[in-house]
Structures are given as C-alpha cells and as structure tokens.
Amino acid sequence: MRVGLIVDSACDLPHEFAKKHDLFVLPVTAIVDGQTYTDTHDPALTEQFYQSGFMDKGRQAETRAYTAEQIHDLFMEKIVNEYDVAICETVTRSRSLIYENAAEAMNTIMAKAEEARKAAGKGGRFSMRVIDSKQIFSGQGLLAAHTLRLIDQGASKNALRHEVEAFTDKIYTCVIPRDLHYIRERARRRGDKSVSAVAAFLSKTLNMIPVIFGPAENAKAVAKTRSFDAAVEKVMDYAIGRVEAGVLTPYLSISCGMSWSEIEALPGLDRLRDACERNGVELLLSQMGITSSIYVGPGAICLAVAAEPHAFSDFQ
C-alpha cells in the first residue's frame, strides 16, 4: 500500500526534507502588487522574494485558495494513480478555504478514482482523507513531519488518521510578528477581528513586539518586548527548555520570513541547535513560504513543538 501525504503552501518545512519524503504540495495562488504567482514552495523563488525585498510590499498582497475544481483536476492527474491512500492536511480551516475546497474535491475524486485507475492499468482501490491540521506555518510543518514518520513506521490507514487527528491538538506554536498593523489590515480585509486596532497602534508607535503562543487556534500574546531580538531570545529560551524537558515527536519546526543570511544571524539559534542535537531532536529550519509570509507579514518567525500541556512561562 503506497501512502502519500499532501500539504498546502501554508505548510513550512525545509525543501530537502519535503523532497526526501516525497511530500506533495497543493499550490496556493499569491497576488503581490497585481502580479500573480503560483506558490509551490519553490526554494529559488522564495529566496528571490526575500533577497529582492519584494515581500516588503506585503500590504498589497493576498492569497487565494485553489478552487474545488482546480484541486480535483490536479489530484486526478498527480495523486489518484500514484498512491493507494492519500492524506491531505490543510492549513486551519478557520483561516482559509483550502479545507472546504479540498473536501469538496475529494467527493468527486472518489467517485471517479476507480475508473481512472483501471484506465491507467492500476489495481486496487483508492482512498483519500482531508484533515484540518488546525495549524499554521511551522505548526502545519511539524504535523506533516510527524505524519511522515507514522507512514514510514507502517501505520494502518485507520490508525494513521486517528493518530494525526489526535496529535494536532498537542502542537504548540510561538509566533513573533514584526508588524501587528500589517496583520490587522490583512485580518480586516478578511473580516477577522482577532487583532485589535489598539494592539496594532501600540505595536507601531511604541515598537512593541509580542510573542503569541499556544495551541494554534487558541494562541494569545504571552509576552511583549521592546525589540525583535529580545522576542527571539525569549522564544529560543522557551524552545530549549521545552526540548530539554521532552517532546512528543523528535522534531522542532521553525520558519522565518527572511533571507537565509538573516535567519543564520538570529540570536539563540546556535544554542537551540545544540539543545536539539543533545536531545535527539531534528531541527526543521526553513524559510517561511510566500503564502505564509503574506499572511503574517515579512520578517515574522513561527516555531512549533509538540508536548504535554504547559505554559510559555514554564520555560522562561
């Protein structure tokens, strides 16, 4: 039984890791200053965006989910004859139409899959499951890495689904946005009032940088700092403490909306690398994809770890 994992472009993982594990990326359409791009997590295009400073124009940027029809056509061509079982993990449904569109496409795909496989000389049945990751960015990447590990371990189809759906509630994320005003404007256009005008004003006028922490759908500000570097240090201290205390999967995921030279200069990154190596945890460090960067703004950082219930302050 060949099992394939599908994620969308909001899922942040290192390109080489995704390539090694044959991860299939469902594209998202990105529109920046009137120019349309298909975000497939191409590393060269992503680095070009950051190096050129093009992402700094993010206030004129938006993303559009593939329609159900587009997903149907793509999966019929690329997925149905390639895998016996397909797991599609989407960015949290509360922030995107990808889940709904993929679930709608799944119904039509399942109706046509048997005939398509017969025509291609493929035996056996095809099954598909669309799962709401309840995550964003590196949180979605962490779930994907854990899912790939379960697939490699030979988990059955039903066990895989149950484990993935339970595991997503154990993921904690830390997000450091560079500009709350940017997030508020993006949210306002979507009708999302989760970031208040007051918070955005304070962030812009007083140079306050928050750390937003928690299970992705219930995350809240747990710290405010006077500088981005200070916020990064707090998150690195948290991550090191959490790794030392134990994690539920041997991965820690970080995605950064910046060039690689800026990523390597992040304060505390080398200390985190050392902690991960000492504790047998693989650090999945990646550039934030174009889709993710448009959502949260250039220069942001997202870190994800899976663990038992705890507070950010437990590791400060």
Q: Which residues pair with 109 in a beta bridge?
A: none
CA distance to 78, 151, 153, 224, 296, per residue, from 160 (Å): 22, 7, 10, 39, 31
Give the residue ranges of DSSP H helices in the chain: 15-20, 43-52, 68-78, 98-119, 138-152, 157-167, 180-190, 197-206, 228-245, 260-264, 269-278, 290-296
- What's the whole-number average pLDDT of the chain? 90
Convert the pLDDT of each residue in 279-298 to its tens digit.
999 999 999 998 998 888 88
Domains of the chain, each with CATH number or no CATH: 3-169 (3.40.50.10170), 170-315 (3.30.1180.10)
- pTM over 0.85? The answer is yes
**pLDDT digit string (tens) for 193-210?**
555 555 555 566 566 889
pLDDT score for 144: 98
